[in-house]
Amino acid sequence: MTLDQFKPQAETPESFALSLEIADPGAQTPRLTPVVIRNLSTGGVTLTVTNPRDIPDWDRYRGEACVLRVEDPGGGASFNIRATIAWTRFGGPGQPPLSLGLQLIKPSGEVMRRLSNLLPQTSQDIKKLWERYDQVRETPEKPDWVHRCYIAGLGLLLAGLMLQFAGSPGYKGWGWILWLLGSLGIAAKIMRPFRQKQPARDQIGRTL
Amino acid sequence: MNLNRIKLWSVGGGKGGIGKSLVTLGLGVALARLGKKVILIDGDLGGANLHTLMGVRYPHVTLEHFLTKKVSRLEDTIIETGVEGINLICGADDLMGAANPTFAQKIRLLQQIEDLPAQYVLFDQGAGTSYNTLDFFNFSSGKIALFTSQTTSLQNAYGFIKSALYRKLSRDFAKDDEILQCLYQGGNGGNGNNFESIHDLLEHFKTVNPEKHARLSQALWDFHLFLVVNMVKSNTDLKAPEIIRSVCQDFLNIQPDLMGHVLFDPGVEAAINHMVPFPLHQKKSKAMVGLEQIALTLVRQSRLPRRGIHGAWEAQEDEDLPMETIAAHPSRS
């Protein structure tokens, strides 16, 4: 089987032209080669190079910076994604002639969504599942005030104990106050799991 | 007073190791603490271990005895446990014949579950999406899909829900080739339609065949599902049910309700190693706090009427329920 006989299973929609621009340390201009998107992972993308013979010795590009160019001939917005080439792999008979693994540099959820739209044969519901998953991961977590109280509480408790046992008599009162405040901070952390409403017997009775 | 209570609740989730057996056990203990009589059934017919978690080393009778007709009544396979209010029916353990029950055996089992002497029967489903697991899950009036926030669990949970729903629809519409073709081939049967979701399918039948649209809508409505997220370690983990919910709404046209969450509890592992039911191993278990909440919701949901597909209240027992209970039901808001 010759290399030319390979037909990718999941073709990128023809209306989109995907190309990879690779920085070549030995050349003045970067190399540009057409690619087809094959798969996505968290922060990564697998591509098939359409004409791998255009560029000799692919292995030397591992770790090199590159740009994935997505152009929409239909007039839609084109976009570029910065990445590094994580791995290169030549396929055997019946496999893609050359696959590339790119690690995208800080891809936003929107970039991942648009790339996933280039995988036309992927199940739409699974696509949506991972999109929602990325959205949830992107949403910054609210500051954990209880944990902060716990850390502050530990500090206050230690300071309070030091003042109480090693400080001058005039500061012993402050030691008590710090000790007490610190204990409250620690107690908040311990009590958090039990802060959820406990089932009450009278409430049960009403539902039966 | 004849109350149409949901007695049988199944806990499924597709993936192994997400805590289905532990949640079933904990939920059973929580219900028992509320004064309920509970029977736990280990539905894993290939690798049963709920009895081990309950501290039972040598079960003298299991589901296999019932399925192979060594005992005639399911009730005769009940084992007493050390936890007051909880009895157990052990699963089979890799024995030929039990792991692959025939359809007749499944029907016999499911029919007798309803007659068990308990207020609540909790059915711990095995991992995977075998027809056995899906059929047992679908037969249960109360369905709980359990998952963790791990990516693999999220994907498997959605796959499990989708498989269960498709299994139900393929049984409900077994004689309707048109619907089956649309379901499994996306409508590509030469008619030019291409359905990416059940919503598309509904829209298609809404115009083409309103009678089928109504039947399909009813079948989807009957597939009422509750979500429970297990081993919660952070606030981000609490968002996991929203991911499942939104995909279910968009692609399966079902709206699962969130039943609650269970915090990650490192003490559970020690309890397993000591072969002590984990709620009894610690005085205050972090996991049990969430499970007690879920048990309350389960009791409430077992009794509350559901708003019907056309908005009317379905259960004729509305009048028997205290008004404040109905008024407090989330579906009223």
Distances (CA, A) of B202 to B57, B78, B189, B209, B210: 51, 44, 17, 10, 9
Residue B272's pLDDT is 87
B12 φ/ψ angles, rounded to the nearest 5 degrees: -130, 175
**Which of A125-129, B225-229, B276-280, B291-295 has the weakest average pLDDT?**
B276-280
* Most B CBs within 10 Å, among A136, A191, A203, to test the B interface: A136
Q: Residue range B13-33: average pLDDT?
A: 93
Alpha helices in A7-144 (DSSP H): 109-116, 124-138
Nearest chain B Cα distance for residue A30, angstroms: 37
pLDDT band for B246, please (50, 70, 90 cuts): very high
pLDDT digits (tens, 9 = 90+) for B48-99: 889 999 988 888 899 888 988 889 999 999 999 888 999 999 987 655 556 6
Average pLDDT value for residue range B125-138: 89
ipTM above 0.85, yes or no: no
pLDDT above 70 (res B127): yes
Q: Which two tokens stand for residue B132?
A: 């056995």
pLDDT (tens digit per residue) in B167-221: 999 999 999 988 888 888 765 545 556 777 898 889 999 989 999 999 999 999 9
Chain B, nearest residue to A201 by Cα: B34
Top CATH class, B8-172+224-332? alpha beta
Exposure letters B82-107 (e unless 16+ CB within 10 A, then b) = ebebbbbbbbbbeeeebbebeeebbe
- Chain A residues at the B interface, defined by Cβ less than 8 Å, are 124-126, 128-129, 132-133, 136-137, 139, 141-142, 144, 193-194, 196-199, 203-204, 206-208
Confidence of residue B40 (pLDDT cuts 50, 70, 90): very high
Task: Write out the two tokens for A193.
Answer: 């799991």
Cα(B296)–Cα(B303) distance, integer angstroms: 11
Long-range residue pairs from B327-330, CB within 8 A, at least 24 positions apart, any chain: B329/B300, B329/B304, B330/B257
Q: Helix, strand or coil for residue B293?
A: helix
Per-residue pLDDT, averaged over B123-128, amounts to 90
Residues of chain A with C-beta less than 8 angstroms from the C-beta of B303: 207-208
CA angle A83, A89, A90 (to 5 degrees): 135
Q: Give the nearest partner residue to A199 out of B252, B284, B296, using CB atoms.
A: B296
Give the containing element (helix H, strand E) for B66: helix B63-67
Smallest CA–CA distance, residue A3 to chain B, in Å, is: 33
How far is Cα A30 from Cα A85, in angstroms, rounded to an integer? Answer: 14
Per-domain boundaries in chain B: 8-172+224-332
Cβ–Cβ below 8 Å for A125 and B162: yes
* Chain B residues whose beta carbon lies within 8 Å of the beta carbon of residue A134: none
- B119 C-beta neighbours (distance < 10 Å), count: 18
Q: Is B73 exposed, middle or buried (0-12, 13-18, 19+ CB in 10 A)?
A: exposed
**A-proximal residues of B, 39-68, CB under 8 Å:** none
Mean pLDDT (whole number) for A116-130 = 83
**φ/ψ (deg, to 5) at B10:** -105, 140
Is B155 at the interface with chain A, CB within 8 A? yes
In angstroms, the separation between the Cα of residue B168 and the nearest Cα of chain A is: 19
Cβ of A193 within 8 Å of Cβ of B251? The answer is no
- Single out the residue of A80, A205, A144, A8 nearest to residue B325, CA to CA: A205
Q: Which of B236, B244, B325 to mutate to test the interface with A (most CBs of A within 10 A)?
A: B236
Report the C-alpha dihedral over residues A95, A98, A99, A102, rounded to 10 degrees.
180
Would the pLDDT of A195 be above 70?
no
What residues of A are in contact with residue B240 (Cβ under 8 Å)? Answer: 136
How far is the CA of B323 from the CAs of A206, B3, B230, B257, in angstroms? 10, 15, 32, 22
pTM above threshold 0.80:
no
Q: In sequence order, what are the beta bridge partners of B10? A: B123, B143
Of B330 and A37, the one with more pLDDT: A37
CA distances from residue B142 to A113, A163, B44, B249, B256 in whole angstroms, order as listed: 36, 59, 18, 19, 12
Asked if the Cβ–Cβ distance from A129 to B325 is below 8 Å, we say no
pLDDT digits (tens, 9 = 90+) for B316-327: 443 333 334 333
Please tell me the predicted confidence (pLDDT) of residue A45. 92
Q: Which two tokens stand for residue B45?
A: 């017919």
